[in-house]
A and B are shown apart, each in its own frame.
Chain A
Amino acid sequence: MKESVFQPILGAFGEFGGRYASELLHRPLAELARARKEILPTPDFQAELQAELRRWAGRPTPLTYCSRFSRDIQLEVYLKREDLLHGGAHKTNNAVGQALLARRLGKQRLIAETGAGQHGVACAMAGARYGFDTTIYMGAVDVERQRPNVRLMELCGAKVRAVTEGAATLKEAINAALRAWTEEATVAHYLLGSVCGPDPFPSLVADLQSVIGREARHQMLEAAGDLPDALVACVGGGSNAAGLFRGFAGDPVRRIGVEAAGEGLHTRRHGATLARGRPGLLHGARTYVLQDEDGQTRDAYSLAAGLDYPGVGPEHAHWHETHGAQYVVADDEEALAAFEHLSRREGIVPAFESAHALAFCRRAVREGSLPRGARVLVNLSGSGRKDLPTYFARYADRGDHL
């Protein structure tokens, strides 16, 4: 791949990243890249952002030591509680930051895509608070499986557009949002929800999510007197993992991202882009992509709507190739067992997405991935409330998995 004609220039993470977007998006992307450099780091903007994250979004989120869950799995497990952030997931960090930037840029409208609906909810809430006219594009399949979130977005005044093309999930929602942004770039900001897409989005979203890792590092030192041995986070697009990992830059800590194996890597029903994809272009970035021989994107699948994305943030692709982080998988069944396990032992109901990170931890000692007693910091990126209808409808009668 060193010989690829596609060597990203803008926002490159080694061989990955870049700005592979239509010329028609040049102006808004260049404008946003400037805002990231010239507005985001200013004390004035940071003060506004931090105040909003504190007073409106509920930061800092706690760090919770899980004694009963830890005992069961022979690890020392600390959870960074992004499920307690306003909106129920880490997505709010990014939505607040980008919405405030968009306001500085004089935009009147927000466009966003959503998969699980968590990013859509965060955008709808931020849109309401900061006075934007907000439109959320969501795959029709996701609209069905995440009804409570759709209602919540509408309650906060956002318009939800169901996208019916293709597999009608996150990939198609991003396509639709990019098209809408091309039409309305002068008045609208595209509030992309993960560390994907054309430059500057992967960098901007990681900047805004790095508050997770910075806080958690401080809290870990306070609670345990030392750094964790390993960081574990689920990876769809990869924003919660990037936000956690970035806070520990330079620290001697293992970074482990958990992708969705769905119904198994031997099937095509999974979302394990780094495990089963290869480098290519998707949604404006050079990154790993689930694709066929011709370069047609394959549909991804996971029980967790936030993980069924056939691409992955380009920085993760870079970490994957340079061993800056390690990527493993957990399947639907493992995630579901972890979902039930944490609920019963700790009274914390994780999002199906976050349950993938816990699922890896549950088997880590047994399979020799982590030493017994290792101190592990897991990003509990979201609350499982949104998943309850799916859980009760499909799984509640299948017996005890503990």
Chain B
Amino acid sequence: MSRLVLEQTLAGNTPLFSPFFLLGDPTPEISFQILSACLRAGAPMLELGFAYSDPVADGPALQRAAIRTRAGGTTVDGAFRLLSRLRSVSDAPFNLLVYGNLLHARGAKRFCRDAADAGASSLLVPDCPLEENERLAETASAAGLAFCDLVGPATSAERLRRIGTRVTGFIYRTGRQGVTGRGGSADALADVAATVSATPHPVCVGFGIETHEQLEAVWGAGARIAVIGSALARRIAAVEHCLTDPASVNTLIEGMASRVRAAVDASQRAKGD
């Protein structure tokens, strides 16, 4: 079961780098190539989003990515097909980020079952907070998915503790108070250590992470996983008008792989520190 590979991956104490992509960005086929290249480049796990029409937690880069992905033909069924295909070439944990209405429309139970069948390890729903997510957490767990939840720089220790009682995967701590893809503030990243020390769960940090200095700050603060998303989506955006040109697509994929390789190398150096 894919949830176990997440548990095994998190069982150690090595810093981990995870790229974030929308499944199907920019098209199902190119997305598969990008994601497989990232895995071959050493990404120990993937954060994978489902494109949604109203991604209120996301900044401009991922909003544009969602529009591009849907225009590229990826439906929810298509995203699950892509996930299955990835699972057939990799044993890495795949962590899903999905806005609530996509689960609601399919039926949350069916969505979670389909996700687990397609090889997902965990589920995070950014617009379904503590007060509203008890049944969702149960549903995800019953389907065999680890349940993850979001916290921010302003989340109190007491609230973090209550959120933690429902989490069976990791805590996703945002690198900033705001949407994805704008520079994380040094203060918010420094406070990651407080989140790490206040929860027994592994901590993943994303939102506003782009540079190696930020990655190192995140790992240095004790977070297990650092995520880069918007910065990678911007690379796709830069070539989105020449996707029929194989040379451009190859350059994109190679560039993505070397970016991921560099971040993975940084995580291994961070381990040595």
Contacts and interface: CB of A to CB of B under 8 A. Distances in A.
Given A5-B109, A6-B108, A294-B106, A183 B101 contact: no
A295 B178 contact: no
Interface string B84-117: 0000000000000001111111111100000000
B63 interface: yes
A23 B129 contact: yes
Interface string B123-153: 0001111111001100100000000011110
A179 to B, nearest CB: 5
Interface size class of A (residues with CB under 8 A): 35 or more
With most chain B CB atoms within 10 A of its CB, the pick from A10, A23, A165, A294 is A23
A20 B100 contact: yes
Interface in B205-226: none
A9 B128 CA distance: 11
B109 A24 contact: no
B159 to A, nearest CB: 7
Contacts of B106: 294-295
Most buried by B among A5, A283, A291: A5
A23 B132 contact: no
Contact of A297 (B75, B101, B178): B101
Interface stretch (A57-65, A78-86, A133-141, A274-282): A274-282
B128 A291 contact: no
B63 A165 contact: yes
Contacts, number: 127
A296 interface: yes
B223 to A, nearest CB: 17
A165 B154 CA distance: 29
Contacts of A104: none
Contacts of A294: 75-76, 102, 105-106
B70 interface: yes
A291 B178 contact: no
A289 interface: yes
Given A22-B150, A24-B154, A283 B135 contact: no
Given A26-B130, A291-B101, 5 more contacts: A6-B103, A22-B129, A182-B179, A280-B105, A286-B104
5 contacts: A23-B163, A182-B56, A281-B104, A284-B127, A297-B54
Interface of A: 4-10, 18-24, 26-27, 165-166, 171, 175, 178-179, 182-183, 185, 279-284, 286, 289, 291, 293-297
